Amino acid sequence: MNQNTKPVMGVDWGTSRTYPAILDEEGNCQALLPSGNQICNGGIPSLFSYQEEEGVVLCDDVISEELEVYDPEHVVTSIKMRLSELIDLDDRTFSGEEIATQIISVQMEYAKGELEIQDLNADLESVVVCAPVSFGTSERIILKHAFENAGYRVLRIIPEPVAAAVYYQKKGTILVLDIGAGTADAAIVRENTLMTAQNPYPYLFVDSSGVEIAGDLFDEKIADYLAEQFIENVAGIDAGQLRNHGSAAYRRLKAAARKAKEALSNKMEVGVTFNGGEAGSGRQRLTRQEMNTAIHPLVERIILCVRQLIARNRDILDQSPEIIMTGGSSYIPYIRERLVQSFPQISQERIYIKAPEKAIGFGAAIYASDMKKIRPRVDFSYGVNTYINDVEMIQTLIPAGVELPFVTEHTYYTRHNDQIQVAFHLYEYRLRDKTLPMDENLQMKVSAAVHKFNEPVPKGTSCTAKMTLTEDGILELQVTSSISDHVGNTSCSIFTNSDSGR
């Protein structure tokens, strides 16, 4: 079997955990998580630990938790939310892309190891990756580069809620609620009932609303509550340390709070053991009711975010919409309870929560298996500046929605006598108009190409701009003329497709 016919891995690259998956020969989704001694039930930790010369990424749940608690200065977590940042560790500065690349390299090695252990066939060079709907072009490019630097060709980046919908295969218009570690995203995705060769996507993203509130903040609220309980009820506890979010004792308490939170999804009450060394130690009971009270204000903000999305899309949502819940924090029963209590149109029976930590990775794997049938398309329009009736305008050369690869050529003429060069600026925008005014609110300048003539040329000298958008999402602009052997060239990488249906 050659690489082209083998299944492609789908990757839910998460803030706290990453879930790679693939379809086996029978068409079943298989998780590619390390087995054996390592414990990575909910996904491979997206964690970077800087140790002297080398960055090390650890997949083991236990080791990663120890590092976060005991060596936080050398640990970078949640890099997905910080892709465009520069991060200082000791005396070195890393770009978000570099750290992401390191994490991805190690995570994908684990995934490939699992392919071998499970004896699964796969194209080892390609992936389909998910991205939150909040990611703009620049974040998607960094994500794409990080996978490329790690040695993988990104066949497609798909929105996370679309991946979830592909996994659940629901009909009609669906509300997807993804509550992970860092963010809660509510999105509306609609089944594409008019699938054609030009519009071959099974689900289209419609609208979304998100807040940076999820599991991590729940842990903090629960830890704050537990801190007060320990201080009140256990002799010898160092209150100062337990209330200080920067202390090692607090980090330990927060790790204990996370475990308690996860256990309380199935139990009504748990025992929480706190071992804070010099800060003291002890044991407390924590009930589900107490936890619900501690996280209540955060849950209400997530509910508000859902409310805003539903209000904006009232006309397209069913009377009683189907809801898919994904992300590890969806296990928390209180969130479901509050959803049903807050919205008369939401009923418990229409909330689907089959495998919240898996759904996005599995959806990406299913999507990836169909990839080679689907041609990539572009989500944005691209154009260059030119003068029309003496007014500088932007002329669209590549309209949003075209199938890739796409090549187009236009001839332009110099405006003045004795011009020695022409400069083409390349713009990106959502509009599909043939020409646009130069309004910086409407478009973004992405690149420029300068074409130099051998000598000053008369007004009206022609030159040709050829714009190409490759199947891999590389945008190239090439300017040539018969008066010059110089070629004005520019090339940039763009995100090719988000199945957004825009």
Ligand X SMILES: Nc1ncnc2c1ncn2[C@@H]1O[C@H](COP(=O)(O)OP(=O)(O)OP(=O)(O)O)[C@@H](O)[C@H]1O
Q: Site residues (CB under 6 A) for ligand X?
A: 14-17, 42-43, 80, 178, 180-183, 214-216, 258, 261-262, 265, 327-329, 331-332, 357
The only residue of 7, 10, 14, 159 in contact with Mg ion, by rule CB under 5 A: 14
CB of residue 433 to ligand X, shortest distance in Å: 36
Consecutive H or E run containing 96:
helix 96-117
Query: What are the tokens at 68?
Result: 């976060």
Closest separation in Å from C-beta 481 to ligand X: 49
State the alpha helices, DSSP H only, in 212-332.
215-233, 239-243, 248-263, 288-312
Beta bridge partners, 18, equal: 13, 44
Compute the distance between CA of residue 326 and CA of residue 21 in angstroms, rounded to an integer: 16
Q: How far apart are CA 111 and CA 21, in angstroms?
A: 8
Give the C-alpha separation, 182 to 132, whole Å: 11
CB under 5 to 8 A by kind: which of ligand X, Mg ion, none does 258 bind?
ligand X
Any idea what the Cα angle at residue 333 is, between residues 331 and 335, rounded to 5°?
90
Nearer to ligand X (CB atom), residue 14 or residue 321: 14
Give the separation between CA 101 and CA 145, rounded to whole angstroms.
8
**Residue 180 near Mg ion by CB under 5 A:** yes
Cβ atoms of 387 and 45 closer than 8 Å: no
In the chain, what is the greatest distance between 2 CA atoms, to the nearest angstrom?
Answer: 91
**CB of 19 or CB of 406, closer to ligand X:** 19
Tokens 């020695």 belong to residue:
420
109 membership: H or E segment, kind and range: helix 96-117
- Point out which span in 96-104, 173-181, 199-207, 473-481 binds Mg ion (CB under 5 A): 173-181
Stretch that binds Mg ion, among 86-94, 176-184, 388-396, 435-443 (CB under 5 A): 176-184
DSSP one-letter string for 404-453: SSEEEEEEEE-SSTTEEEEEEEEEEES---SEEE--TTT-EEEEEEEEEE
Q: Which is nearer to ligand X, 273 or 320 (CB)?
A: 273
Stretch that binds Mg ion, among 175-183, 458-466, 477-485, 493-501 (CB under 5 A): 175-183
Of 203 and 331, the one with the shorter C-beta distance to ligand X is 331
Closest CB 262 distance from ligand X, rounded Å = 4
Q: Is 132 in the site for Mg ion (CB under 5 A)?
A: no
Q: In angstroms, what is the minimal distance from the CB of 15 to ligand X?
A: 3
What whole-number distance in Å separates Cα of residue 363 and Cα of residue 29? 9
- Any residues with CB less than 8 A from the CB of 426 and at least 6 apart, and which? 382, 383, 384, 445, 446, 447, 448, 449, 475, 477, 490, 492
CA angle 6, 498, 405 (to 5 degrees): 70
Decide if residue 159 touches Mg ion (CB under 5 A). no
Tell me if 150 sits within 8 A of 108, measured CB to CB. Answer: yes
**Is residue 10 at the binding interface for Mg ion, with CB under 5 A as the rule?**
no
321 binds, among ligand X, Mg ion, none (CB under 5 to 8 A by kind): none
Closest approach of Cβ 462 to Mg ion, in Å?
Answer: 52
Residue 405 CB, nearest distance to ligand X (Å)? Answer: 32
Nearer to ligand X, 257 or 463 (CB): 257
161 lies in the binding site for Mg ion (CB under 5 A) = no
- Sequence-ordered list of residues with C-beta below 8 angstroms from that of 231, at least 6 positions apart, any chain: 237, 239, 242, 243
φ, ψ dihedrals at 74, nearest 5°: -105, 10
Q: Point out which span in 122-130, 149-157, 179-187, 313-321 binds Mg ion (CB under 5 A).
A: 179-187
Contact partner, 214, from ligand X, Mg ion, none, Cβ < 5-8 Å per class: ligand X
CB closer to Mg ion out of 159 and 180 = 180
Q: Which residues share a beta bridge with 87?
A: 94
The number of residues that bind Mg ion (CB under 5 A) is 2
Closest residue to ligand X, judged by C-beta, is 215
CB 195 to Mg ion: min, Å: 27
Q: Which does 276 bind (CB under 5 to 8 A by kind): ligand X, Mg ion, none?
A: none
Query: What Rg, from alpha-carbon coordinates, does the chain have?
Result: 26
Q: Would you say 256 or 477 has its CB closer to ligand X?
A: 256
Closest CB 297 distance from ligand X, rounded Å: 17
Contact between 202 and Mg ion (CB under 5 A)? no
**Residue nearest Mg ion by beta-carbon distance:** 180
> Residue 340 CB, nearest distance to ligand X (Å)?
18
For Mg ion, the closer of residues 180 and 280 by Cβ is 180
Q: Which stretch binds Mg ion (CB under 5 A): 174-182, 205-213, 336-344, 363-371?
A: 174-182
Cα–Cα dist 215/355, whole Å: 17
365 vs 475, beta carbon nearer ligand X: 365
The residues of the shown chain that bind Mg ion, judged by CB under 5 A, are 14, 180
